[in-house]
């Protein structure tokens, strides 16, 4: 078990508390394994009727995977390969699958930062997932900013967001708050910070078998106070520009629009990895026609290709290691990204019978 994951059972509910506040609960392999073990233990335990995942800190539920670990372990190995790196992504994606199809109510309290891998542990399936946001929620899938792509099931949940909102979120990597999370259908309930103590008391005192209904009664009325969604206001603009057939076409469309939101989106994309934006565009198109399991298998393949290419090393170097915020992307411009470069990411790394996630149903 991990020192950064605390688990206990109370009143028929299993509680998973992430406790790595200095790193905003960034996921390590030990943390992934601790969460997986708890969920597997409770899945068939009749005394556990529901699960709650939360943080010991109000700053973040989870800021994502431990990207410094990705950089250090990958760089220390030859050709971007490492058993620890391989294990991390295989087990993280298996955990995402377990959460999506969990047979009991799975409540994610998304207070503070919820990004990347944090979204993967928060996006429970439609049958049992209960996703709660607050006024402090800062949600994003910012992977293109570090030379990666929206993973942890992002190819599924982003591609199934309304209209082109998922494409906007994946290509810009921009952060949204509670109202936008609700509009994106990436959250179910809003609870203001002033009511979190009452919500915590409710969760801890309500029998697990009644937890989902109790949260709906408590939190439902608060949704009207989440505020206005900027994405709802800009929906027509987003759908217009981000329905263009390619990343260059999207950016060219945005350049022709002087609206501040269009220019904000364009400026964000101009900083992202050209190659990984194109890979993300293709990923989300494919994800829209795929189930969760196939999406996770596709992402697992892309992770291997990404580390082979090395784009993530440069992104993490610029953002976290040297902190110069001046990544030297390869290739440097969209004009240099060829269809063959993008297609390479989708070429199978393993035969189907040897895929590390072949057993996902």
DSSP count for the chain of H helices, then E strands: 17, 9
The residue whose two tokens read 């580390």 is 307
Distance of CA 96 to the CA centre of its chain: 10
Annotated active-site residue 282? The verdict is no
4 strand-pairing partners: none
Asked if 349 and 307 count as a contact pair (C-beta separation under 8 A), the reply is no
Of 151, 188, 282, 311, the active-site residue reads 151
Annotated active-site residue 117? The verdict is yes
Annotated active-site residue 310? The verdict is no
CA angle 127, 128, 130 (to 5 degrees): 120
Asked if 265 and 217 count as a contact pair (C-beta separation under 8 A), the reply is no
Tokens coding 231: 């994405």
Annotated active-site residue 143? The verdict is yes
Of 66, 92, 111, 143, the active-site residue reads 143
Of 64, 112, 117, 177, the active-site residue reads 117
Q: What are the residue ranges of helices labelled H in 173-259?
A: 178-183, 196-205, 211-219, 230-233, 235-242, 247-255
Asked if 208 and 48 count as a contact pair (C-beta separation under 8 A), the reply is yes
Asked if 162 and 184 count as a contact pair (C-beta separation under 8 A), the reply is yes
Of 14, 64, 65, 208, the active-site residue reads 65
Distance in angstroms (rounded) separating the CA atoms of residues 207 and 13: 7
Distance in angstroms (rounded) separating the CA atoms of residues 67 and 61: 16
Peptide bond into 331 cis (omega under 30): yes
Q: What are the residue ranges of helices labelled H in the chain?
A: 29-43, 67-76, 83-100, 117-120, 154-157, 165-172, 178-183, 196-205, 211-219, 230-233, 235-242, 247-255, 260-271, 274-287, 292-309, 311-316, 339-346
- Known catalytic residues are 65, 117, 143, 151
């Amino acid at each position: 078990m991990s020192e950064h994951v605390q688990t206990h059972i109370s009143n028929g509910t299993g509680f998973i508390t992430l406790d790595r506040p200095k790193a905003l609960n960034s996921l390590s392999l030990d943390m992934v394994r601790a969460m997986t073990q708890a969920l597997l233990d409770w899945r068939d335990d009749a005394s556990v009727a529901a699960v709650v995942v939360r943080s010991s800190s109000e700053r973040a539920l989870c800021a994502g995977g431990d990207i410094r670990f990705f950089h250090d372990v990958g760089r220390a190995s030859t050709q971007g390969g490492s058993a620890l790196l391989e294990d991390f992504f295989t087990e993280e994606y298996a955990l995402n699958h377990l959460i999506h199809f969990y047979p009991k109510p799975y409540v994610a309290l998304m207070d503070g930062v919820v990004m990347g891998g944090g979204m993967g542990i928060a996006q429970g399936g439609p049958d049992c997932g209960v996703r709660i946001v607050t006024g402090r929620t800062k949600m994003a899938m910012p992977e293109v900013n570090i030379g990666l792509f929206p993973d942890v099931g992002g190819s599924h949940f982003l591609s199934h967001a309304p209209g082109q909102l998922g494409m906007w979120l994946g290509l810009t990597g921009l952060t949204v708050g509670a109202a936008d999370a609700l509009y994106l259908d990436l959250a179910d309930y809003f609870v203001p910070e002033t009511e979190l103590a009452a919500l915590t008391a409710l969760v801890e005192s309500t029998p697990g078998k009644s937890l989902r209904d109790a949260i709906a009664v408590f939190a439902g009325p608060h949704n009207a106070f989440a505020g206005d969604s900027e994405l709802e206001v800009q929906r027509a603009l987003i759908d217009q520009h981000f329905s263009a057939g390619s990343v260059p076409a999207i950016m060219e469309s945005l350049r022709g629009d002087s609206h501040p939101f269009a220019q904000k989106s364009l400026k964000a994309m101009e900083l992202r990895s050209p190659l990984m934006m194109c890979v993300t565009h293709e990923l989300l198109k494919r994800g829209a026609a795929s189930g969760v399991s196939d999406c996770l298998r596709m992402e697992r393949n892309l992770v291997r290709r990404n580390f082979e290419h090395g784009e993530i090393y440069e992104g993490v170097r610029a953002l976290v290691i040297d902190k110069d915020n001046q990544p030297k992307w390869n290739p440097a411009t969209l004009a240099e990204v060829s269809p063959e470069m993008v297609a390479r990411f989708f070429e199978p790394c393993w035969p189907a019978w040897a895929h590390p996630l072949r057993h996902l149903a």
